[in-house]
Amino acid sequence: MNSIAIILLAAGEGRRFRAAGGGDKLLASFQGQPMVAHVARTAIASGLPVHVVTGHAEAAMREALHGLPLHFVHNPAFASGMASSLKAGIAALDKDASAAIIMLGDMPEVGAGVLAELAREFAAHPAAMAIVPMFQGRHGNPVLLAARAFADVMALHGDQGARRLLAGREDVIALAINDAAILKDIDEPSRLPG
């Protein structure tokens, strides 16, 4: 059986959100709980192990997630960009992990069904390097990365995500998802539901 884990990226500073007067983005209220807690509960509902990468406001992040069955990984280099958080998450996985689903802490509308679809697609195509969800022709998140992509991820720097690694590859599967939530991140307070 494929051993898939979830890496929840929750280390960033959310500068645009903060600049717009929203405070700490991932701690902002979404449906009555901190945004990051909402995303974490969705991840937990998948039944897969969840690794949360913290960085900025680590103590507040841990408090917001207190009591949830999560594995915490601190990224002291969080200010250098997303690549360092991806690498911290990958490094924390069990050696037998066959893949990781990379969730973003600012996408609280993504449901557990999307995670299940990614896992099912990977089970059907275990030779894939990655499974990328798509809605109406646009790439979204979360993305599933197979273990054979991990070494390439560990070579990323700065604010690079995995998208650059996946471009133009024949072993990357585009999975049609009928859910616009895979395109919706919350970068500004105005995007929070009223």
51-99: per-residue pLDDT in tens? 999 999 999 999 999 999 999 999 999 999 899 999 999 999 999 999 9
Please give the Cα distance from 101 to 179 (Å, whole number).
17
Query: How much is the pLDDT for 194?
Result: 60
Average pLDDT, the chain: 92
Instruction: Please state which CATH class domain 4-191 belongs to.
Output: alpha beta
Could you tell me the mean pLDDT of each successive run of 10 residues in the chain, 194 residues long?
87 81 86 95 96 95 96 95 94 95 96 96 96 95 96 87 80 95 89 75
pTM of the model: 0.95
For the chain, the structural domain boundaries read 4-191
Cβ(129)–Cβ(171) below 8 Å: yes
Question: Are the C-beta atoms of 14 and 106 separated by less than 8 Å?
Answer: yes
Residues in contact with 97: Cβ distance below 8 Å, sequence separation at least 6, in sequence order: 3, 4, 5, 147
Residue-level pLDDT at 20: 75
| pLDDT number for residue 122 | 97
